[in-house]
Amino acid sequence: MDLVERLRSGPPIVADGGMGALIGGAVQRLRCPEEANLRAPESVVAVHASYIRAGAELIETNTFGANRRKLASHFLEGDFEAINSAGVRLAREARDVSGREVLVAGAIGPLGELELLDASEHGALYAEQARILEGRGVDLFMVETFFDLEDLVVAVQAVQSVSALPIVALLTFDEEAETSGGVGAADAARRLAGLGVAAIGSNHGAGPQATLAAIDAMRGAQVPVAALPNIGLASLSGGRVVYPHSSPDYFAEFAAQAAALGARIIGGCCGTTPAQIEAIRGALDEGRAPRVVFEAGEPALAAPPAADAVETGLARALRLGEWVVSVELDPPKGGTNDAMIDVARALRASGHVGFVDVNDNPMARARMNALMASIAIQREAGMETIPHVTPRDTTVMGLEGILLGAHAEGVRNILAVTGDPPQVGDYPGSRGVYEVDSIGLVQLLARLNQGEDYVGKTIDQPTSFFVGVAVNPSAHDLPLEVDRFERKVAAGARFAMTQALFDVAHLDALLDRYGGQPPVPLLVGVWPLRSHTMALRLHNEVPGISVPERVLDALRDAGAGAPAVGLALARELVEQVRERAAGIYVIPPFKRPEAALELFSG
């Protein structure tokens, strides 16, 4: 079969369905579906043969995730060549056994977590896999299930650098015909059409309807289109990924709709079985017409700026040059926040404190969520908050969800911090999520303010977060700290809060790098120490905190009078930073947050 000629003038080509799910169900304890090429080759041949019997004229090798990087994550890097070679051999064997005219496509999928890999390495990895697949005898390449258009472009060009075989380039789209990065199907089609590929299209995704919407938008690029959707949305059941029981007739109707929209390759992806492929074959052979005319939904328009995008009290105070005072609070460990609310009320009533900043699981110990605690404080105590938010404990999607919820409840100031590593807390066996670091969290917040999520998709309405970051003038590697600080500011930070400071010389060293003025307003951390023992512990055991000898000596010599000396030293520091910073935040004694007010008495 000549693929290019068939795409140009023949009837649509029927492709196969989801290899990985069927192989995973047939062969237990696989590290990845591609391992079956070596451990259970007869099962791979059987799956290929079942799709061919169902009417598939194009089957994909079981090599979708067999690039060197993904195999290495399963400790299979040493079998890279063997797995890819066997993948082609087994597909060809199934074709030979069937005695039918079937195209064998070399399946190449994305590399995985791209942000963890240098961009210069992407092309080489794709080319390496393509070279083996062509050498073993594939007829074409299916470069498929890509969520990122630019990564797909890199993959296609890498394959073209080592092979002249036809390429089918497939992206994954949502119900609005957009990639996860917010690229519309029509724009993606125009970009891919310029690469000289044999066909473009949509695979994987939310199901047949999403794929139909995508190919409807893509067909204007005048390149043959392919439609290979998931059977529908997946879910978890007993630790297994399961798919809905889409009836064959539903897939037959999908095939009729896809053919009416001009699709030249029609098949399936995850969850589709030979039953769905047989339904596609039957619908095309009988020339089935769609029961209803497909109508793509109108793309959602970007919402107008938020009506309540007013300046926060903190932002206003910093803009006007008012001296800012905040007190740091730890949320409760239990399910009631009454004591925290009472403290916030007392701080507000004092007239000395304008804000409270709220820790997010400090010392990696589970407490009430800082954003939820901040909502309660603002609602019950009427005091503006600065919640700390760390990417340690949840995914990017989870961060977006809780941030949007907090925004809806009036929380606007956010301090983006890395967070203490889990190893130091009550859950030493756990691992931090850290899909982004604090710089990535600032970028996420900036994108929400622009009306889009972290991957670039439009949200209902832009947010109006006032974003702050941490900076440590006492850092051991100050040049590295400065570099990260500048990257945070470039990402969208509007203010900063320092690590607890005990020597103004450290602040001066930081400010000297900016000609005496920081790039954003600074709030200096002030911690009135109450004992020599506490000071020693902070200096020797807590990363990033440096307590000068004169402070240690003063607290030691004071004996029982150490709390008064620590308070006096803190007041001295406040006066020293008045001309250098925009304000302070006070770290109160452990379990005595109201004692922060002692700094302002006398």
φ, ψ (nearest 5 deg) of residue 388 = -80, 140
Distance CA 139, CA 105 (A): 6
pLDDT at 581 over 80: yes
pLDDT at 475 over 70: yes
* Rounded (10°) CA dihedral 37, 39, 42, 48: -30
pLDDT at 303 over 50: no
**Average pLDDT score over residue span 14-25:** 89
DSSP code string of 76-108: -GGGHHHHHHHHHHHHHHHHHHHTS--EEEEEE
pLDDT at 181: 78
Distance CA 432, CA 399 (A): 14
Query: Would you say 225 and 193 are in contact if contact means Cβ atoms under 8 Å apart?
Result: no
pLDDT-derived band of residue 1, with 50, 70 and 90 as boundaries? confident
Q: Which domains does the chain have, with CATH numbers?
A: 15-113+120-285 (3.20.20.330), 313-600 (3.20.20.220)
pLDDT in tens, 346-362: 999 999 999 999 999 87
pLDDT at 538: 85
Query: Would you say 325 and 586 are in contact if contact means Cβ atoms under 8 Å apart?
Result: yes
**Average pLDDT score over residue span 277-304:** 75
pLDDT at 113: 63
pLDDT in tens, 435-472: 899 999 999 999 999 999 988 888 889 999 999 999 99
pLDDT in tens, 499-526: 999 999 999 999 999 999 999 999 999 9
Distance CA 539, CA 541 (A): 6
Helical segments of 40-79, H only: 41-54, 68-73
**Average pLDDT score over residue span 465-482:** 93
pLDDT-derived band of residue 118, with 50, 70 and 90 as boundaries? low
Sheet holding 225-229, edge to edge: 13-14, 263-266, 225-229, 199-204, 167-171, 140-146, 103-108, 58-60
Query: Would you say 277 and 267 are in contact if contact means Cβ atoms under 8 Å apart?
Result: yes
φ, ψ (nearest 5 deg) of residue 143 = -95, 100
The pair of structure tokens assigned to 443 is 């970028």
**Average pLDDT score over residue span 368-392:** 95
**Three-state secondary-structure class, residue 520:** coil
Angle, helix 19-26 to helix 41-54, in steps of 10 degrees: 130
Sign of the alpha-carbon torsion through 230, 236, 237, 238: positive
**Average pLDDT score over residue span 292-303:** 55
pLDDT at 542: 76
pTM of the shown model: 0.69
Match 């925004």 to its residue by tokens: 407
Closest CA to 70 of 145, 2, 176: 145
pLDDT at 224: 96
pLDDT in tens, 119-177: 678 899 999 999 999 999 999 999 999 998 999 999 999 999 999 999 999 999 988 88
pLDDT-derived band of residue 396, with 50, 70 and 90 as boundaries? very high
Maximum Cα interatomic distance, the chain, rounded to a whole number of Å = 96
φ, ψ (nearest 5 deg) of residue 117 = -130, 135
Q: What is the mean pLDDT of the chain?
A: 90
**Three-state secondary-structure class, residue 407:** helix
pLDDT at 308: 56
Greater confidence, 590 or 598? 598
Distance CA 342, CA 427 (A): 30
pLDDT in tens, 43-99: 999 999 999 999 999 999 999 999 999 999 899 999 999 999 999 999 999 999 999
Count Cα atoms within 13 angstroms, Cβ side, for 278. 10
Name the residue type at position 103. Answer: L
pLDDT at 299: 45
Q: What percent of the chain has pLDDT over 90?
A: 72
> Percentage helix, strand, coil, to 5, in the chain?
45, 15, 40
Q: What percent of the chain has pLDDT over 70?
A: 92
Match 């109108």 to its residue by tokens: 298
**Average pLDDT score over residue span 260-265:** 95
pLDDT at 298: 46
DSSP state of 344: H
Distance CA 22, CA 272 (A): 9
CA angle 169, 172, 177 (to 5 degrees): 110
pLDDT at 301 over 50: no
The pair of structure tokens assigned to 538 is 């902070």
pLDDT at 117: 54
Distance CA 296, CA 312 (A): 41
**Three-state secondary-structure class, residue 20:** helix
